[in-house]
């Protein structure tokens, strides 16, 4: 798998990583959720070079994660706002932060905490089943080929574009 072609892989994770799969991009998105909107705010918060930050912001706009909105005409100045697609990335950040709080902290404890706006209580985000509502624990999820992959395979796409672990499980279907 070549990084330049990861967006063509028959894998939702690979395609998602083609948009948000580097640390700088995730930090830009994190800062959006923390209230940053302007180039200088991102640069100050992340410490990224102007060129690299501009590249990340442009990619997020191109992929409709952020919307670039003019807020001043002379000179032209823009702010970057999360789109609905971008807002849907919040659970990803919460899962990463929860993992980090569990495994990457020192003796002083959690680095971030969260409060549920509805009940105003501190919470630890939990991934749950969309059908039964039960919390999902490691090892309780089975990965299946979805209709998008099955249709592509039926149309002649080669199994080499399917993640190897899945291809091994579904050899009879190819």
Express each pLDDT in 96-130 by its tens digit: 999 999 999 999 999 889 999 999 999 998 999 99
- For 97-102, the CB contacts below 8 A with 24+ separation are 98/124, 98/125
Helix (H) or strand (E) holding 92: helix 90-103
Residues 15-26 as b or e (16 or more Cβ within 10 Å = b): eebbbbeeebbb
Between residues 1 and 124, which one has the greater pLDDT?
Answer: 124
Express each pLDDT in 30-83 by its tens digit: 999 999 999 999 999 999 999 999 999 999 999 999 999 999 999 999 999 999
d(CA 129, CA 85): 21
* Per-residue confidence band for 153, with pLDDT thresholds at 50, 70 and 90: confident
d(CA 128, CA 173): 30
d(CA 143, CA 103): 25
pLDDT of 11: 80
pLDDT of 166: 67
d(CA 108, CA 65): 34
- Number of C-beta neighbours around residue 63 at 10 A: 16
CA distances from 157 to 13, 66, 143, 161, 165 (A): 19, 32, 20, 8, 17
Between residues 9 and 80, which one has the greater pLDDT?
Answer: 80
Between residues 137 and 153, which one has the greater pLDDT?
Answer: 137
Architecture of domain 3-87: Orthogonal Bundle (1.10)
Coil, helix or strand at residue 94: helix
Rounded to an integer, the average pLDDT of 13-21 is 90
Report the range of poorest mean pLDDT among 3-7, 19-23, 86-90, 93-97.
3-7
């Amino acid at each position: 798998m070549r990084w330049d072609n990861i967006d063509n892989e028959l894998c939702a994770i690979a395609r998602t990583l083609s948009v948000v799969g580097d640390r700088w991009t995730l930090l830009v998105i994190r800062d959006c959720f923390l209230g940053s909107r302007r180039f200088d705010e991102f640069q100050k918060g992340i410490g990224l070079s102007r060129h690299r930050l501009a590249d990340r912001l442009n990619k997020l706009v191109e992929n409709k994660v952020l919307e670039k909105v003019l807020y001043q005409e002379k000179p032209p100045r823009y702010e970057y706002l999360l789109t609905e697609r971008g807002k849907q990335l919040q659970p990803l950040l919460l899962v990463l932060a929860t993992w980090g709080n569990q495994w990457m902290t020192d003796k002083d404890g959690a680095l971030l905490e969260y409060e549920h706006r509805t009940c105003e209580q501190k919470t630890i985000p939990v991934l749950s089943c969309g059908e039964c509502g039960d919390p999902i624990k490691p090892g309780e999820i089975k990965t299946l080929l979805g209709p998008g992959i099955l249709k592509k395979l039926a149309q002649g796409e080669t199994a080499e574009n399917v993640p190897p672990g899945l291809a091994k499980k579904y050899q009879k279907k190819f």
